[in-house]
Structure 1
């Protein structure tokens, strides 16, 4: 009954992605890590994930562009996509959620933040 859940963590900063992966593993999730939007889209074409944590500021392809591609090109409307960002102003939160994100995780993150996020899904 306790099926393993799979998360895709997308961040060009290796330290940030490792930290999230460690927290998720402690919560019983398995993770794949991608260091770019293009790598994330390639993984999503081949594998099924239960959630994606997506950094907004990456080179070449922003998190918002990746989110739009996931929703429109890949047709993954039901995939929870969580913006993973240091931006926490109310108007930025509204813009992020309007771009197709399911939720928001503000850096720096803690284990408690990731646990609350996982409990929501």
Structure 2
């Protein structure tokens, strides 16, 4: 069973993404902050991380940099989850170490494209 960590400070956005991914039969864990996400990643393995960019405290780009620096074993993809769709913003996001970007509002089709079975 695939394990994914969904990180977003907005409860509705986080719950929606989690609901879509649960339909695939995956184990879903949720974090409402970058700090909590890093704690969870250090404590248990995940296959994927869906990570909001604009969060208070540690933002998604910094969380991704820390994930890459830590080199968590088994982590296949870190995908940005954001409403920031300008080309310059996308470039900065990808430079932070993300594998790809899903633009909000998220759809089932968008998530299926980002996270293979």
Give TM-score, length-normalised by structure 1.
0.90
Residues 47, 74 of structure 2: 8 Å contact kept: no
Residues 85, 103 of structure 2: 8 Å contact kept: yes
Identify unmatched segments of 5+ residues in structure 1: none
Q: In the alignment, what sits opposite 1:46?
A: 43
Is 1:109 equivalent to 2:106 in the alignment? yes
| SS in structure 1 at match of 2:38 | helix
Deviating 4+ runs (over 3 angstroms): none
The Cα shift of 1:71 comes to 1.1
Q: Choose the corresponding residue for 1:13, options 10, 20, 40.
A: 10
Change (3 A) 1:42 1:50: same
The Cα shift of 1:90 comes to 1.7
RMSD: 1.4
Identify unmatched segments of 5+ residues in structure 2: none
Change (3 A) 1:77 1:30: closer
Give TM-score, length-normalised by structure 2.
0.93
Q: Paired residues, what number?
A: 116
Q: Choose the corresponding residue for 2:30, options 4, 19, 33.
A: 33
Q: Write the distance in 1 (CA, Å) between the matches of 2:74 and 2:88.
A: 24
Q: Write the distance in 2 (CA, Å) between the matches of 1:65 and 1:53.
A: 14
